Amino acid sequence: MARKAGNCCERRVVERENCDRVNSLTNAFCPLRPFIKSCRASVGILAKMGKRILESPGGIFAKARGVNALFPISYVTFLFFIRLKKNINKIIYVFDKMIDKVGKKKFNYSYNKKNQVVLKRYCGIINVQDITNSWDFAINTQLFPKTIKRFILDYRSAQLDFNRESHLQIASYYQERLFFFRKSRIAILVTDPTLTAITVLFGTLDNDYQSKPFSTEKAALKWVMLK
């Protein structure tokens, strides 16, 4: 029995260490994605200009006769941007795969385009920082349209590592980001009585958005669709 309890504690420690790594990686990489995308947009414009020049009669002639035959600086510059855009696309692809792999360890988003509903599932041991980090991830990477106002948060596979003030901290986070949560309906899926009580306390602090606990996904979806 003692051995079993020891193994459980060891698993919790390892899981906590992995969660800390996930949080650190998410905080480090999320702000970079918009910057990389803006660079790709700028390079894309230059690459298109370069492609037009290279496909023009003068460009074909220059390529056939060698770089020194005609406008060498333009030729080399735009050829560079065309290749750079391809490399940036590869970087973004690898970056998105890495972020997706990191993020899915503790939370996972799915977006129902037809119903305009975002389902967010949590798993493992979750604290306040995990919740705020997961929202920062979605907001900073523009994971779904800003117009979405229907959310279902599924905590049924999660263990909440909360204290007496955790619901206040989460409510404060929501209120500081009303530009994102304003007029939203937030259904919270919970089955544990203690978590249900915490959710009710959180609901008393709603400000320009609505939240409500549910035990089934069907009931939660029905409620958010009322908006």
DSSP string, 154-168: EEEEEEE---TTHHH
Indicate the CATH number for domain 106-224: 3.30.750.24
> Cα 53 from chain centroid?
38
Please write down the long-range contacts of 82-88, taking CB distance under 8 Å and 24 or more positions apart: 82/47, 82/50, 82/51, 82/54, 84/43, 84/47, 85/40, 85/43, 85/44, 85/47, 88/36, 88/39, 88/40, 88/43
Q: Average pLDDT in the 70-82 region?
A: 58
Q: Average pLDDT in the 118-132 region?
A: 89
pLDDT at 18: 46
Is pLDDT larger for residue 216 or for residue 194?
A: 216
Structure tokens at 76: 């080399």
Lowest mean pLDDT among 36-40, 169-173, 174-178: 36-40
Is pLDDT larger for residue 121 or for residue 14?
A: 121
Q: What is the pLDDT of residues 139-158, one digit of tens each?
A: 988 888 889 999 999 998 88
Residue 110's Cβ-side half-sphere holds a number of Cα atoms within 13 Å equal to 8
pTM for this one?
Answer: 0.56
pLDDT over 90 (residue 104): no
As a whole number of Å, the CA-based R_g of the chain is: 24
CA dist 171 and 168 (Å) reads: 5
Domain borders along the chain are 32-101, 106-224
Q: Average pLDDT in the 197-225 region?
A: 92
CA dist 38 and 144 (Å) reads: 18
3-state class (DSSP) for residue 30: coil
pLDDT over 80 (residue 59): no
CA dist 41 and 159 (Å) reads: 41
